């Protein structure tokens, strides 16, 4: 049950016009996305009938290793690890830092359109907590294999990837889940199904839609993003998207982010997972992923007994307000409202987040 909805603040003419501009942008983006998709489908159908293109392959793609060389603060710092028997024949990449006999394991899950590089600033602080840190790349992201078709991706694929990795590493207890964005929807689904493996959870800038109430502005922001993704498809400029979200004027940081988050995708054929994940967000109760998010919400409200830390940033345009929903579900949770961070708060405030998580897990 969502918390009571606060009455909307008094609308000024400036804010009203801003909302109207955003609404018009949403409509235009979705309109162009619809017609582009329709035209692409018709052209593809005709081309197949004429024998101009072959049947699409379902063989996983693998990003060349050299794409990940020379990433400052990452390439020489963290050793890649691989699990060869991932779902659908995919090789899964993950980071494994810290002692294997540490008192706890931090499972750090990224979201759209990032990869485990997102946690590089947090890993040293979490290892010092002390802890072992596992940070995987989902299929379609980072150094993990990429399935080439949008139809290859669904919510259960990503959940199954993490389950198989935990089994591969023989991790069945004392796990602290650290999740953000789609890492939250996936990780909290995992938590609800395998609760005995987890002792605590850190929830950051995520949600369990369609549950939870947000402002009209936040809804329009998300619909703008969704329309942009639909319009761009596999041509989504991943590096530029992440770089544009950073809350720093440092041009060097923007350039580094653009290079690092674009590295996993040599060309558009590698971006099916990036193009599909936003389309899976359940906007209504009949959506494909909605039963899983509803299950996770009910579990957190009625059954979860572990420790919880809720950390949302004040500058996130698409999850602002959802910290109230999680606080309502888990009244015993510790809540920290983070200032100065955008949607990818691990990029903006990684070191301080790690310090807060370390204090949280060590607080008896």
Does the annotation mark 181 as catalytic? yes
Asked whether the beta carbons of 190 and 292 are under 8 A apart, the reply is no
CA distance 342 to 315: 5
Region of 252 please: left (phi>0), alpha (psi -120 to 50) or beta. Answer: alpha
Residues near 317 by Cβ (< 8 Å), separated by ≥ 6?
A: 218, 221, 342, 343
> How many CA atoms lie less than 13 Å away from 118 in the CB half-sphere?
32
Phi, psi of 117 (to 5 degrees): -50, -30
Helix (H) or strand (E) holding 96: strand 92-97
Q: Catalytic site residue 115?
A: no
Q: Which DSSP letter does residue 146 get?
A: B
- The residue annotated as part of the active site, out of 168, 314, 328, 355, is 314
Question: Which residues make beta-bridge pairs with 336?
Answer: 311
Query: Is there a catalytic annotation at residue 235?
Result: no
Query: Catalytic pick from 137, 145, 152, 181?
Result: 181
Of 158, 304, 343, 348, the active-site residue reads 343
DSSP reduced 3-state for 183:
helix
Residue whose pair of structure tokens reads 């703008």 in the numeric block: 224
Look up 31 and say whether it is catalytic.
no
* Coil, strand or helix at 343: coil
Which one of 115, 137, 182, 304 is the catalytic residue? 182
Helix (H, G, I), strand (E, B) or coil at 244: helix
Written as six digits, the tokens of 340 are: 């100065």
Report whether 33 contacts 24 (CB < 8 A). no
Catalytic site includes residue 277: no
The single residue of 225, 254, 277, 324 carrying the catalytic annotation is 225
List active site positions.
181-182, 225, 314, 343
């Amino acid at each position: 049950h969502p918390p009571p909805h606060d009455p909307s603040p008094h609308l000024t003419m400036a804010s009203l016009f801003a909302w109207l501009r955003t609404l018009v942008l949403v409509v235009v983006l979705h309109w162009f996305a619809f017609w582009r998709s329709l035209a692409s489908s018709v052209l593809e159908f005709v081309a197949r009938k004429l024998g101009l293109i072959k049947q699409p392959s379902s063989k996983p793609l693998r990003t060349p290793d050299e794409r990940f060389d020379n990433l400052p603060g990452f390439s020489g710092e963290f050793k890649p690890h691989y699990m060869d028997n991932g779902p659908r024949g995919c090789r899964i990449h993950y980071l494994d830092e810290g002692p294997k006999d540490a008192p706890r394991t931090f499972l750090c899950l990224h979201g759209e359109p990032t990869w485990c590089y997102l946690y590089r600033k947090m890993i040293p602080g979490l290892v010092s907590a002390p802890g072992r840190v596992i940070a995987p790349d989902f299929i379609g992201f980072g150094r993990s294999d990429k399935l080439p078709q949008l139809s290859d991706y669904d919510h259960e694929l990503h959940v199954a990837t993490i389950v198989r990795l935990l089994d591969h590493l023989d991790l069945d207890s004392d796990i602290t889940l650290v999740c953000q964005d789609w890492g939250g929807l996936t990780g909290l689904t995992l938590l609800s199904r395998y609760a005995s493996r987890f002792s605590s959870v850190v929830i950051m800038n995520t949600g369990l839609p369609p549950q939870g109430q947000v402002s009209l502005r936040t809804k329009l922001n998300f619909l703008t993003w969704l329309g942009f993704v639909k319009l761009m498809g596999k041509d989504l400029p991943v590096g530029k998207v992440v770089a544009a979200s950073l809350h720093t004027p440092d041009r060097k940081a923007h350039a580094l982010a653009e290079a690092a988050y674009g590295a996993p995708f040599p060309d558009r054929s590698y971006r099916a997972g990036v193009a599909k994940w936003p389309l899976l967000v359940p906007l209504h109760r009949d959506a494909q992923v909605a039963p899983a998010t509803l299950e996770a919400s009910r579990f957190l409200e009625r059954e979860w007994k572990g420790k919880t830390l809720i950390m949302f940033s004040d500058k996130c345009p698409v999850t602002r307000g959802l910290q109230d929903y999680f606080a309502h579900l888990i009244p015993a949770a510790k809540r920290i409202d983070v200032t100065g961070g955008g949607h990818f708060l691990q990029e903006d405030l990684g070191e301080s987040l790690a310090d807060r998580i370390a204090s949280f897990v060590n607080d008896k």
